[in-house]
Amino acid sequence: MTPIWQTIARIFPLYYGGDALTDVIKKGQGLSYTSIDLLILCLFTILLLFANVVGLKRYRRV
C-alpha cells in the first residue's frame, strides 16, 4: 500500500487485530510481541463503549 493508505489504516481496529494474528500464526510469536496490538484493541473497545454510553444516553428511559 502507499504510505498515505498505511497511515489511514492505522485508525481502524482491524489493522491491529490482523497484525496480532499475523504475528501469532505466521511468525509464531507470543503475547510479549502482540501486547501492544492487544492494548490498542482494548483502548478501541473502551473508546467505543464510552461513545455508546454518551451517544445513546438520550434514548434511554429510566
Provide the number of structural domains found in the chain: 1
Percentages helix, strand, coil for the chain (3-state, rounded to 5) are 75, 0, 25
Q: Which domain holds residue 28?
A: 3-59
pLDDT digits (tens, 9 = 90+) for 22-34: 999 998 988 888 9
Joined together, the cell numbers standing for residue 23 give 504475528
Give the C-alpha separation, 17 to 36, whole Å.
11
Residue 62 banded pLDDT, cuts 50, 70, 90: low
pLDDT digits (tens, 9 = 90+) for 10-54: 999 999 999 999 999 998 988 888 999 999 999 999 999 999 999
